[in-house]
Chain A
Amino acid sequence: MREVDRRSKIDRRKFLTTAAAAPAAVVAVTTGLSVDGAWADNAQALKPETMKTLARVARDVYPHDHLADQYYIAAVIPWDAKAASDPQVKALIEQGVALLNELALARYKSPYAAVAWEEQRVALLREIEQTEFFGKVRGDLLVSLYNNHDVWPKFGYEGSSAEHGGYINRGFNDIDWLS
């Protein structure tokens, strides 16, 4: 069978500019692309800690251990611009993150992003599952995370095929393990 190459073929600078359409100050950061890194320091409307918490929430909601943090970061960065242009969005996100931190401090004596175990963070998310904040963030991730064309190969999905002549000569019937 013809398998899909799942390795990344992109550099991080290009990735952030194209995938996230983020403010220049944010994308200028090319190193340290982990949730805890400096990438959020230049956020314009949302607090850097809020951005980092969102990225942590993103991974906790849709955890894929084969996806690097950069994909989750790219998926949440657009919230900064949305918050900059709409005060209601800004309030929704800041208040949602504040609530999450409040619950985390009460239960684990630590802000959400620093709670050690995924199960513990997920338990907190379950508590706010019915809030508008969670609904909006989760719904947005379905598109902002999974509709990023750069993540498709990581799931073995090949995307657009017409320009390659379809699959008629590229493995539409190449399954070889059925007995």
Chain B
Amino acid sequence: MAKFDLNDDGFVVIVGSGAGGGTLGNELAQKGIKVVVLEAGARNEIQDFVNDEWNSFTRLAWKDMRTTSGSWQVARDFPNLPAWIVKSVGGSTVHWAGASLRFEEHEFKIKTAYGDIAGANLLDWPITLAEMEPWYAKAEFKMGTTRTNGIPGLPGNNNFKVMEAGARKLGYKQVHTGRMSINSQPRDGRGSCQQIGFCFQGCKSGAKWSTLYTEIPKGEATGNLEVRPNSIAVRIEHDAAGKVNGVVYIDGEGKTQKQKARVVAVAGNSLESPRLLLNSHSSMFPDGLANSSGQVGRNYMRHMTGSVYAVFEKPVHMYRGTTMAGIIMDEARHDPKRGFAGGYEMETLSLGLPFMVAFLNPGAWGRSFTTAIDGYANMAGMWLVGEDLPQETNRVTLDPVVKDTNGMPVASVHYDDHANDAAMRNHAYRQGAAVYEAVGAIRTFPTPPYPSTHNLGTNRMSEKPRDGVVNKYGQTHDIKNLFVSDGSQFTTSAACNPTLTIVTLAIRQADHIAGAMQKGEI
């Protein structure tokens, strides 16, 4: 494993080791480029994972203070936990469930496809599906996504079988065990899924793709990649010409360090990346780095979400087996006749008892709640995930009052549901309940959104510098050796889970960075 010098200014320095940062780091290392990855969290490996929801959350999740405002229910239910994401090497790919879907063609250009929608800040991506396809293929190969590259789908568990039977009765056609970056057979030095059922707590069998035990060790094996855990980036610095030249971070001992850099790539997830750019303001860039458009932190998206759980007469034991290997895709289309633009996916989901009581209906108590929980063994569950629309006022800002232990202002997250999101959620609740009622559900529960697991859009891609923060390669419009490499690049959110697209963009970006470095452009 490489150990690089703080004063060497020849490296690419990446902030964050998750889907975006971990992938970019390995891709660059494979091309012979030296990379330092600064990761705020500790290095927890597979043997450190526990099949215990609260215990795992305490060890892995980002629990540092954040604040919230806006009409979204998360601000009421979880005022200081707007997002459920990871602070550990591997980032949220330690927690993620593995659902790996490509965008539809129209989802790269919804301003064109949907027309103007009042209150939304729609914009077409500066890339098309056709341009992305070869890169999607590379990402699916890398991640071993089922139902691509000849890899068979995962077997359906009880929770899937219930959803599938209901979906068929309703006439849904696109129903299967998903495109999952979870090995259905041994591949890439990792075994196949043991149906452990704790995908969200870190996969103990390593069947699920995570940068922690794929990209990062592969990159380290080249000798070109160093991951520094417990290293919290607090500021990106620049030279007199306005090019970035280093990242200031707090190390595990609480000491301030500065790593010099030739290129900086920010991949701290969509709450932390804009926070870091905003906090790096200087006399030359008083509104923060790469923010001449004023768009840094804006257009925050978190997907239209919700869940439907249902209790049946007989047991389901939904928690047995893969958490999210099951999908109904029929509602993902854009069909304004339903009363909203865009679409949503229905995906199997189970929570263990400890999280179920926390999330089924936050704040609820009494018999209505406890009789629902009494039906836990007989419950099936699905997650609803759909496109939400970018709004300029949904944004991440630096909290004017609250600071973290390093004295850095915390991220303050404001989100109002758009009328389109609310209409879609109601439709999804009805359809989800109908799926379960078709196979005999006794009670169904429209469960409100969890803290955001999909965080997107706060440094969005745009053709024109005035509309967004980065260009089609994730390169900031303002500073050519500063890149954004995570989900915050998303121009719009699409209906599907984001990580395949984040990884795809990172692979493509690595190619661009390597080319630009070779040509001496950066």
Contact = CB atoms under 8 A, between A and B. Distances in A.
Contact of B354 (A3, A64, A146, A178): A146
Contact of B204 (A138, A142, A159, A162): A162
B196 A159 contact: no
Chain A residues touching B, range: 35 or more
A173 B376 CA distance: 17
Contact of A138 (B198, B320, B365): B365
A128 interface: no
Interface stretch (A42-50, A68-76, A149-157): A149-157
A100 to B, nearest CB: 15
B374 A175 contact: no
A178 B165 contact: yes
Interface in A155-179: 155-163, 165-168, 170-175, 177-179
B158 interface: yes
A55 to B, nearest CB: 16
Contacts, number: 116
Contacts of B319: 157-158
Contact of A157 (B162, B196, B198, B377): B377
Contact of B358 (A3, A142, A167): A142
A106 interface: no
A124 to B, nearest CB: 12
B156 interface: yes
B158 A157 contact: no
Contacts of A116: none
Interface in B301-329: 314-317, 319-321
Interface stretch (B9-17, B48-56, B391-399): B48-56
Interface in B123-138: none
Contacts of A156: 315, 317, 376-378
Contact of A64 (B52, B197, B373, B439): B373
Contact of B439 (A61, A63, A174, A178): A178
A166 B358 CA distance: 24
Contacts of A142: 357-358
A157 B352 contact: yes
Contacts of B54: 143, 147
Chief secondary structure at chain B's binding surface:
loop
B367 A63 contact: yes
A160 to B, nearest CB: 4
Given A62-B370, A66-B374, A157-B352, A178 B315 contact: no
Contacts of A160: 50-52, 198
A121 to B, nearest CB: 11
Chief secondary structure at chain A's binding surface:
loop
B197 A161 contact: yes
A147 B365 CA distance: 16
Interface string A1-43: 1011000000000000000000000000000000000000000
A61 B316 CA distance: 27
Contact of B196 (A62, A138, A167, A171): A167
Contacts of B354: 143, 146-147
Contacts of B376: 155-157
A1 B312 CA distance: 15
B44 interface: no
A170 B196 CA distance: 10
A62 to B, nearest CB: 5
Nearest to B362: A142
A23 to B, nearest CB: 24
Given A142-B357, A178-B165, A167 B374 contact: no
Interface in B169-217: 193-198, 204-205
Given A142-B358, A173-B161, A162 B51 contact: yes
A166 B377 contact: no
Among B157, B161, B194, B373, the most chain A Cβ lie within 10 Å of the Cβ of: B194
Given A142-B357, A155-B353, A156-B377, A175 B366 contact: no
Interface residues of B, number: 42
A91 interface: no
Interface string B135-179: 000000000000000000001111001100100000000000000
Nearest to B158: A175
A155 B358 CA distance: 15
B162 to A, nearest CB: 7
A173 B158 contact: yes
B114 to A, nearest CB: 38
A146 B205 contact: no
A177 B313 CA distance: 10
A99 interface: no
A29 B374 CA distance: 29
Interface string A125-153: 00000000000001000110011000010
B51 A168 contact: no
A156 to B, nearest CB: 3
B369 interface: yes
Contacts of B358: 142
Contacts of B51: 159-163
A122 interface: yes
28 contacts: A61-B366, A63-B367, A64-B370, A64-B373, A66-B374, A142-B358, A146-B357, A147-B54, A152-B353, A156-B315, A156-B317, A156-B376, A157-B353, A161-B196, A162-B194, A162-B204, A162-B205, A166-B321, A167-B195, A167-B320, A168-B193, A172-B155, A172-B158, A172-B321, A175-B315, A175-B316, A178-B161, A178-B162
Interface of B: 50-52, 54, 155-158, 161-162, 165, 193-198, 204-205, 314-317, 319-321, 352-354, 357-358, 365-367, 369-370, 373-374, 376-378, 439
Given A64-B373, A161-B196, A175-B315, 15 more contacts: A3-B315, A66-B374, A146-B353, A146-B357, A147-B354, A156-B378, A162-B204, A167-B196, A167-B320, A170-B320, A172-B197, A173-B156, A173-B161, A175-B158, A178-B439
What 4 pairs across the A-B complex have the smallest Cβ distances? A156-B377, A166-B194, A172-B321, A160-B51
